[in-house]
């Protein structure tokens, strides 16, 4: 089979680009190292080879795919090839990502937002701006069917209702709630978040974009990991390793789109450069950001509460007194019924909450490649937003009279981005305004690694908008 384009990775970057290129008539191979997940919509789409989400008896076996760290051997630890989560553990910044057809949409919390940072796309590179990107945000949000939860519609634990009348915290109508890619109309408010949504209440990209594109000719190579990229007579060659058999094969095409997620796209680029397959790329690794993420454990222990119910994220809230609250969201232990935990622990966890706060950090982290391993360098003191969020967590603890515990000294992000960012100058960025890698015609980056900075809000729609922008540029020039 000859392809017009190969895409590596099927998350927000890969799936949106695949959908556009296939609909424009291109022959596309979509390479994904993880499996199809066994969910109701994927079954209904007729996909026969599926792997369970980490629910019930699969909770431990299918939870983690790979753990990497500069302290571990180069390949890291690989508990299970079909595991859902991918963890990178490092002192400066640890990263949680995922694996499977649909990428991060299985574990994400369904918040579909535009950037909180003003003028996010302006003055980044010639040819992109907030204005040129706006239609792609519109398209992405419409495809996700995203809408914000409404006050008084009876959604369990929705912050908009829960904090109504609270003296110090609020989520009233002045605070814009995130739109959510969630099928509210089903009224299924259980087990639909970080551990996947087996009944399809949460909209995931495998069923929304990838499976429908197969009926228009998209070839999906699931359980195939791209282990090397380089030039070939046809343009670009990808070496793939099958996750089951261990066998290798090659694919060639004039265009190659990298969408393996921030850390993995950087790994592919660094490794190819180290092997001499790619030249220079002086800016590779610059501009890494954790989107100002800070996670907190809010030990509420509220009598009679069952915070495990609700939408994947309960919504935003803020401190009444704080004009500049970070983007602050609250979550329950959604999916806890699927985990094999002692009853007493499960009962307690239902009564506690998780806080996820984010804000536009300075995107001044640096990723480096040493002895076949990625290492992340991120100075939390050089990112004042983290201190602001810590102060907010302390105020929430005060306002509620319940402790908020966070690992301030060990930042963790679920929103890694940058490292192969867009900029006109190859000394500052890896890709140009079209998403093409400087000096490497036919090679594009369509995922979060190309983002120019921290949006300060959940980034999936910025990634989808960028991916659509890159894909439209490709079809416009074909
Ligand atoms: C717990 C959690 C909650 C989140 N909640 C939200 C939220 O509510 N809203 C929001 O906007 N964002 C959220 N995010 C972040 C969001 O999921 C990511 O920003 C987004 O998925 C990144 O998109 P991507 O296309 O860059 O990469 P991904 O979605 O990670 O997709 C990359 C894909 O590439 C595959 N891959 C990697 N390497 C290879 C390789 N070598 N060969 C083949 N395939 C490969 C991976 O298996 C993966 O499927 C959350 C993340 C987590 C972990």
Q: Where are the domains of the chain?
A: 5-476
Q: How far is CA 115 from the centre of its chain?
A: 14
pLDDT at residue 167, as a whole number: 87
Mutate to test the pocket of ligand 1, among 260, 265, 466 (most ligand atoms within 8 A of CB): 260
CA distance 445 to 467: 8
Mutate to test the pocket of ligand 1, among 29, 65, 103, 329 (most ligand atoms within 8 A of CB): 103
CA distance 351 to 82: 31
CB atoms < 10 A from the CB of 346, how many?
15
- Ligand 1 center to 103 CA (angstroms): 5
Contacts of 76 (CB under 8 A, 6+ apart): 66, 67, 68, 69
CA atoms within 13 A on the CB side of 63: 10
CA distance 65 to 84: 6
- Ligand 1 center to 321 CA (angstroms): 35
Ligand 1 pocket residues where CB is under 6 Å: 8-14, 31-34, 96-100, 103-104, 107-111, 194, 225-226, 259-262, 264, 313, 414-415, 447-448, 458-460, 463
Give the pLDDT means over successive 10-residue stretches in the chain (478 positions).
Answer: 96 98 98 98 98 93 96 94 97 97 98 96 97 98 98 96 91 94 96 95 98 98 98 97 97 98 98 94 98 97 96 95 83 91 94 97 97 95 95 93 91 97 98 98 98 98 98 94
- Ligand 1 center to 98 CA (angstroms): 6
**Could you give the residue ranges of the DSSP H alpha helices within 237-314?**
262-274
CA distance 115 to 451: 11
CA distance readout (Å), 458 to 62, 216, 288, 360, 433: 26, 31, 16, 11, 22
Q: Tell me which fold the domain 5-476 belongs to.
A: FAD/NAD(P)-binding domain (3.50.50)
- Ligand 1 center to 394 CA (angstroms): 30
Q: What is the mean pLDDT of the chain?
A: 96
pLDDT at residue 259, as a whole number: 99
- Ligand 1 center to 154 CA (angstroms): 30
pLDDT at residue 135, as a whole number: 98
CB atoms < 10 A from the CB of 175, how many?
16
Q: How far apart are the first and last CA of the chain?
A: 20
The model carries a pTM of 0.98
Protein residue closest via CA to atom 37 of ligand 1: 260
CA distance 375 to 8: 22
Protein residue closest via CA to atom 24 of ligand 1: 261
CA distance 172 to 162: 10
**Could you give the residue ranges of the DSSP H alpha helices within 145-285?**
159-162, 205, 211-214, 262-274
Mutate to test the pocket of ligand 1, among 9, 80, 316 (most ligand atoms within 8 A of CB): 9
């Amino acid at each position: 089979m000859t392809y017009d384009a190969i895409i590596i990775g099927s998350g927000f970057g890969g799936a949106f680009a695949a959908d556009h290129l296939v609909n424009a008539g291109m022959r596309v191979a979509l390479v994904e190292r993880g499996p199809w997940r066994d969910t109701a919509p994927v079954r209904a789409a007729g996909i026969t080879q599926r792997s369970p989400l980490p629910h019930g008896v699969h909770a431990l076996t299918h939870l983690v795919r790979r753990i990497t760290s500069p302290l571990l051997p180069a390949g890291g630890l690989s508990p299970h090839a079909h595991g859902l989560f991918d963890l990178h553990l490092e002192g400066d910044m640890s990263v949680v990502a995922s694996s499977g057809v649909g990428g991060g949409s299985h574990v994400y919390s369904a918040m579909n937002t535009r950037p909180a940072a003003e003028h996010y796309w302006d003055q980044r590179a010639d040819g992109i701006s907030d204005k040129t990107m706006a239609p792609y945000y519109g398209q992405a949000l419409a495809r996700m069917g995203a809408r914000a939860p409404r006050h008084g519609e009876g959604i369990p634990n929705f912050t908009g209702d829960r904090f109504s009348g609270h003296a110090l915290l609020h989520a009233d109508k002045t605070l814009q709630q995130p739109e959510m890619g969630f099928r509210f109309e089903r009224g299924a408010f259980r087990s639909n978040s970080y551990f996947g949504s087996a009944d399809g209440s949460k909209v995931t990209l495998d069923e929304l974009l990838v499976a429908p594109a197969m009926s228009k000719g998209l070839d999906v190579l699931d359980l195939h990991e791209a282990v090397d990229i380089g030039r070939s007579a046809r343009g670009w060659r990808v070496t793939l390793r099958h996750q089951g058999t261990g066998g290798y094969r090659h694919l060639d095409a004039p265009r190659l789109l990298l969408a393996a997620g921030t850390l993995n796209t950087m790994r592919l680029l660094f490794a190819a450069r180290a092997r001499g397959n790619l030249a220079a790329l002086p800016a590779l690794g610059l501009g890494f950001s954790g989107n100002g993420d800070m996670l907190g454990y809010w030990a509420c222990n509220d009598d009679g509460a069952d915070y495990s119910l609700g939408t994947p994220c309960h919504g935003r809230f803020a401190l009444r007194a704080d004009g500049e609250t970070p983007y602050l969201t609250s979550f329950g232990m959604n999916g806890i019924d699927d985990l094999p935990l002692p009853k007493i622990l499960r009962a307690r966890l239902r009564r506690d909450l998780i806080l996820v706060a984010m804000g536009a950090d300075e995107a001044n982290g640096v990723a480096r490649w040493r002895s076949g391993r990625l290492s992340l360098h991120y100075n939390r003191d050089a990112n004042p937003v983290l201190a602001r969020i810590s102060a907010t967590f302390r105020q929430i603890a005060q306002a509620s009279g319940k402790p908020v515990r966070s690992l301030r000294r060990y930042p963790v992000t679920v929103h890694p981005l940058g490292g192969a960012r867009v900029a006109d100058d190859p000394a500052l960025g890896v890709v140009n305004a079209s998403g093409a890698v400087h000096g490497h015609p036919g090679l594009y980056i369509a995922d979060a690694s190309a983002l120019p900075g921290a949006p300060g809000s959940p980034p999936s729609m910025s990634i989808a908008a960028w991916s659509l922008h890159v894909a439209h540029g490709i079809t416009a020039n074909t």
